Amino acid sequence: PEATTSSVTVSTRRADERPKTLLDLGSDTLLCLVLQTIENGEPTEDGGACVRFFKRKTHAPDLLVDKFHYAVLGLGDSNLLLDRQTTTAKDCNQVSQALDARLSALGGQRYCELGLADERTGLTEVEPWIAAFWESVCEKESA
């Protein structure tokens, strides 16, 4: 789905593109993070930089107060969990769940419900989440 409004600007960035610069985003910004959990409950190499940045224990608990709003969509594959001999992951969307919780703990403002999709089910959860995300954007823009 596409959303067209006169006041929404969409830009894309790589997850490893200096995550500290995300702190420069103001409260009028909506940051949508799409993260994949791979084997052993780890983020992808690109997503790891962003996840590690926000997981730092040195961040103040109000780091994200008055900063961007955020939405997180997690992609995982529960097939990887079937072989417990080779993985330590507890959930196929472990990375996105942890980041969503951490952003909230840092005072972040969640824009919409955490989205969790599973490769084992054909990622069928992605399209409904995207539709709900854009519907929410359009509703808030027209309010």
What tokens were used for 109? Answer: 């403002």
> CA-to-CA distance for 33 and 36, rounded, in angstroms?
10
Q: Which is more confidently placed, 62 or 143?
A: 62
The residues, ordered by sequence, that sit 6+ positions from 48 with a Cβ below 8 Å of its Cβ are: 15, 16, 42
Residue 35 clears pLDDT 90, i.e. is over it:
yes
Alpha-carbon distance of 140 to 121, in angstroms, equals 31
Q: What gap in Å lies between CA 13 and CA 73, rounded to an integer?
A: 15
Percent of the chain with pLDDT strictly greater than 90: 55
Phi, then psi, of 34 in degrees rounded to 5: -115, 115
Phi, psi of 128 (to 5 degrees): -60, -35
Confidence at 88, pLDDT banded by 50, 70, 90: low
The pLDDT-based confidence of 2 (bands split at 50, 70, 90) is: very low
Instruction: Report how far residue 113's alpha carbon sits from residue 73's, in angstroms, rounded to the nearest whole number.
Output: 9
Q: Is the pLDDT of residue 37 over 80?
A: yes
* Angle at which helices 45-55 and 94-105 cross, to 10°: 30
126 pLDDT band (50/70/90 cuts)? very high
CB 29 within 8 A of CB 66: no
Q: What pLDDT does residue 8 have?
A: 64
143 sits in which H/E element: none
pLDDT band at 12, cuts 50/70/90? confident
